[in-house]
Amino acid sequence: MNSGIGFEWLALIPLVAGFIGWVTNWLAIKMIFYPRQWTGLKVGSLRFGWQGIIHRKAQGFAKAVGKQVSENMLQVDDLMPKVSDKHANAFIDRFPALWKEIESGQFLPDLMGEHWNKLSGLQKQMMQMQIRFDSRSLLLELVKVARTKFVERFDLRDVISRRLSKDSHLLAQLYGNLAKPELRMIEVYGFVFGALIGAIEAVLFTFVEMSWTIFIFGILIGAITNWLAIEMIFRPRLPVKVMGIEFQGLFSKRQDDIADQFAMIGENQVLPVDAFVEEILAVLEQDDFIQDMEQTSRTWLRRIVSNYQEQFPSDVSVDFVVDKAVELFYEKHSSMTLEARDEIKEVIGEEYRVAEIIRDNLSQLSKEKFERVLRVVFEEDETTLILIGAAIGFMISGMQFMIFS
């Protein structure tokens, strides 16, 4: 038996090992979130320092979160209200003068130009009556076309990624809040696992001389406690009983609670209704969207205008009327933009259910898919965190060796 170390010193080994495990895990967590900006020394072309992993890789993490949200939590079609009569009525209420002009056919003289005067009184009345009869259904059709084209073009994954990558603090806050209990347990596990390994180390040194092997134990404690703590957050995904005791990964166990938190942060901070409306308007104002809508509208208008063709003078073509209709729309467009913005916000806000949709979808995800929501923060740098733990364990073991020597 080794008589070089007293019992009181051997008893300290598990405590020191537990301290190593706690410190390495605590520091690993801090290094995920801090510092926000790169901090360190520059010596010539060499840089010695650190930046919080989330902040340093914000763009990559933001893309990964955007992918998770768009694939498992939200669909653009769910965010956009279905077109109904109330949306047509909302437009009519917002633009009463314009609607009166449309419904009564007051725009027809401008639309037809000099050809209007060539029509008989009966032909004019027939066209106005037909427009009054068709106007509401035509308005609904136009809104439906616009909604469909928008859903086709709106890239939710890109929007979420872009908004999160702009503010790495928001990304850190999102995951810091979601994983707060798990991160706290990583520290606790670090101490527990470190103390257990330290107990093995103490038993070993009861029989052999303390030597350079203490550094090996320090490295193992730093690395293993970090690895085990991260694994126990996620594994096992489903409850498993061992000797009557039930074990389950902390993250999986809190699925409903995390779904609720993620949903509230998503709606209140990541994509609030004001931000979503701004993103909608950004799409609606894109030149290619406007051109696409114009082309679709022309096709649609040709089909509608053909119903009135028999009322036209012989020298007026359907394409002429369609061109004039599009021209009149652009004249009205600029004056409508500001009010349309307010109307879109009001309509979207009434049925904005981001939190509800995320909560429902996230809480119903399989455990494997649910794990990806949080694991993305750890997986790219798990090896780095484990190596950091090993390095810190090595340094603290050096201090331990000098004290015991």
> How far, rounded to the nearest angstrom, does the alpha carbon of residue 396 sit from its chain's CA centroid?
40
Q: Tokens for 350?
A: 């009434």
Map tokens 């070993």 to a residue: 204
pLDDT in tens, 132-179: 777 777 777 777 888 888 888 888 889 888 888 888 888 888 777 777
**pLDDT given at position 210:** 60
Q: Which residue has the tokens 């990541």?
A: 270
The whole-number pLDDT of residue 212 equals 67
CA distance linking residue 320 with residue 164, whole number of Å: 48
**What is the C-alpha separation between 79 and 271, in angstroms, rounded?**
11
- pLDDT, position 1: 46
Return the percentage of the chain with pLDDT > 90, whole number: 0
Per-residue pLDDT of 229-277, as tens digits, reads 777 777 788 888 877 777 777 778 888 888 888 888 888 888 888 888 8
Q: What is the 3-state secondary structure (H, E, C) of the chain?
A: CCCCCCHHHHHHHHHHHHHHHHHHHHHHHHHHHCCCCCEEEEECCEEEEECCHHHHCHHHHHHHHHHHHHHHCCCHHHHCCCCCHHHHHHHHHHCHHHHHHHHCCCCHHHHHHHHHHHCCHHHHHHHHHHHHHHHHHHHHHHHHHHHHHHHHHCCHHHHHHHHHHHCHHHHHHHHHHHCHHHHHHHHHHHHHHHHHHHHHHHHHHHHCCCCCHHHHHHHHHHHHHHHHHHHHHHCCCCCEEECCEEECCHHHHCHHHHHHHHHHHHHHHHCCHHHHHHHHHHHHCCHHHHHHHHHHHHHHHHHHHHHHHHHCCCCCCHHHHHHHHHHHHHHHHHHHHHHHHHHHHHHHHHCCCHHHHHHHHHHCCCHHHHHHHHHHHHHCCHHHHHHHHHHHHHHHHHHHHHHHC
Please determine, for residue 348, whether its predicted confidence score (pLDDT) is greater than 50.
yes
- Check: CB of residue 90 under 8 Å from CB of residue 347: yes
pLDDT number for residue 3: 46
d(CA 176, CA 174): 6
Specify the pLDDT at position 332. Answer: 65
Long-range residue pairs from 332-339, CB within 8 A, at least 24 positions apart, any chain: 332/98, 336/95, 336/98, 339/94, 339/95
81 closest CA partner among 340, 280, 351: 351
Q: Name the percent of the chain lying above pLDDT 70.
A: 90
The whole-angstrom separation of Cα 381 and Cα 272 is 31
pLDDT (tens digit, 9 = 90+) per residue, 204-237?
A: 777 766 666 777 777 877 787 778 777 777 778 8
- pLDDT band for position 84 (50/70/90)? confident
Mean pLDDT of the 345-352 span: 76
Report which residue type is found at 139.
L
* pLDDT tens-digit series, residues 10-51: 777 788 778 877 887 788 778 878 888 888 888 877 878 888
Does residue 2 surpass a pLDDT of 80?
no
- Mean per-residue pLDDT over the chain, rounded: 78
The predicted structure's pLDDT at residue 321: 78
Which of 102, 148, 13, 127 is closest to 325 using CA atoms?
Answer: 102
- Give the model confidence (pLDDT) of 297-326 as tens digits: 788 778 777 777 777 777 778 888 778 777
Alpha carbon of 243 to those of 167, 246, 248: distances in Å? Answer: 47, 8, 14
More confident residue, 202 or 160: 160
Average pLDDT over residues 73-83: 81
The CA dihedral of 49, 52, 57, 61, to the nearest 10 degrees, is 170
Cα dihedral 293, 297, 300, 302 sign? negative
Which pLDDT value is given to residue 66? Answer: 85
The pLDDT of 49-74, averaged and rounded, is 84
